[in-house]
Structure 1
Amino acid sequence: MDLDLEELIPQPASVKSDVLTLSFPNGCTVTLTVDSAVGCGGNYWPAGEVLATYLAHRGGLNGSKVLELGSGTGLVGLVAAKLGAEVLITDQLPLLNTMEKNIRLNELSGSVTALELNWGGPLPDIPLSGVSLLLAADCVYFEPAFPLLVRTLEELCRPNTEVLFCYKKRRKADKRFFSFLKKKFTWTQVLDDPGREIYCRQNITLLRLKLKPRLE
């Protein structure tokens, strides 16, 4: 049976296609095309906004190389680029056009690249040793993809890679994702976020993941 992701998770209130201007701490502003016609990834979601806000609050990304998984519109990665990082935003093929449009809207073609990346599939041909920060927001929603997401996180990580993972708890099935995740990662909650008290009440959690040592 084919599963429709839009039946599994609630859709945010938005028109089919629109252009939004979003403001974040420290004067960071992003112009964003949202388009529900390409599926749930064409909208922006609460955990993505939380992670983008945290990055803007923290700052300090000049010269960093950043990769975002499940980028959708590219919001989180675009904020990272506004903070001075070189960014790879990745998602499935139907989202590439939306991501590329948003790169152009924000005049970030020199610092952001959109790539197709299917969880569990081959990785793009990129120098992973240079990626210092891995980002993922609102990626816990489709249960069959849970082990694929963990596999891709593991393959992208190096011992010194910082991983920021933000998610909104929606269903009891989400616990299964963490049963897969704990086989490969440990994690702690990010505590230095001034918005934490607010978004925790919305069942949103921001985590810092650490790859467990690989057994020889």
Structure 2
Amino acid sequence: MFSHPPSPEFSPLAIGQDFTPLPTYKAASTTSINFSDLLEPSLKLHEDLKSGCGGQLWPAGMVLAQQMLRLELGAGGGLVGLGVALGCTVDNVIYLTDQENMLSLMVQNINLNALQSQEIVQQKPNIILAADCVYFEPAFPLLLTTLQQLLDLCEDAVIYFCFKKRRRADMLFMRKSRKMFVVQEIEDVDREKFSREGLFLYTFRRKA
């Protein structure tokens, strides 16, 4: 197990100068990503912002996908799910989920990587991957409810949750999460590097 100092506290002093930064918007393009040589062949990801900001690569997605490739676990959505689908041997189907306006872009990325596409599923997932979901404060209650409902479907389910701390409201989200779930920080060899960028990686589990 890796040893490390405790995470910076969720306090106003821990926010730093990059208070509410967003990635620079860019023209639609296709990127190849190998997650520090963990993935061969590389994942092809098309980025297109015409349907919303979800069409762009986000930093917590990169961190979570790389963590999943090291752990060889599979399930989830977007960048993370496709990276895991290409890089890991999994026994179950990996389902990608997002808002309806992201569906066509997800299908395009699935096809870019020669993976099968399904639009509607009914199952009880035991591994849920969530990256960069903490960015819109009015949606926090709905996000917490969704996470709770997913964990209620399967008592052994685990949510791998990665986000970038950008604003004070993120502290409130994590405080509420700790009241609702068993929250543990994930050990990772790159933790010191990505935590300096305000990125945090956790597991959420049901409380007994």
TM-score scaled by length of structure 1: 0.78
How many residue pairs were aligned? Answer: 183
Question: Contact 1:168–1:204 (CA<8 Å) still a contact in 2?
Answer: yes
Unpaired segments of 5 or more residues in structure 1? 1-7, 116-124
Alignment of 1:78 with 2:72, yes or no, is no
Q: 1:27 to 1:179 in 2, by over 3 A?
A: closer
Question: Contact 1:87–1:113 (CA<8 Å) still a contact in 2?
Answer: no
Deviations 1:122-169 (A, max 9, x none): xxx5121xx221100000010111111111111111221121100110
Aligned to 1:5: none
Question: Contact 2:177–2:183 (CA<8 Å) still a contact in 1?
Answer: no
Instruction: Give the SS at the match of 1:13.
Output: coil
Question: Contact 1:146–1:180 (CA<8 Å) still a contact in 2?
Answer: no
**Cα offset for 1:14?**
4.7
Aligned to 1:119: none
**Cα offset for 1:186?**
1.7
Alignment of 1:174 with 2:185, yes or no, is no
Aligned partner (choices 19, 22, 43) of residue 30 of structure 1: 43
Unpaired segments of 5 or more residues in structure 2? 1-18
CA distance in 2, matches of 1:173, 1:52: 25
Deviations 1:36-86 (A, max 9, x none): 111110001000000011111222x4xx6x2x3xx4xx1101012121332
Aligned to 1:97: 104
TM-score scaled by length of structure 2: 0.81
Aligned partner (choices 95, 118, 138) of residue 88 of structure 1: 95
Instruction: Give the SS at the match of 2:138.
Output: helix
CA distance in 2, matches of 1:114, 1:197: 38
Matches within 5 A, 1:118-197: 126-128=122-124, 131-157=125-151, 158-191=154-187, 193-197=188-192
Q: 1:174 to 1:79 in 2, by over 3 A?
A: same
Q: Which runs of 4+ in 1 moved over 6 A?
A: none
CA distance in 2, matches of 1:103, 1:9: 31
Higher relative contact order, chain-length normalized (CA < 8 Å, sep 6+): 2
RMSD of aligned alpha carbons: 1.9
Aligned to 1:118: none
Matches within 5 A, 1:32-47: 32-47=45-60
Percent identity of paired positions between Structure 1 and Structure 2:
37
Letter in 1 for 2:190: G
CA distance in 2, matches of 1:143, 1:14: 21
Aligned to 1:205: 200
CA distance in 2, matches of 1:36, 1:16: 8
Instruction: Give the SS at the match of 1:186.
Output: strand
Question: Contact 2:58–2:132 (CA<8 Å) still a contact in 1?
Answer: yes
Which protein has the bigger strand share? 1
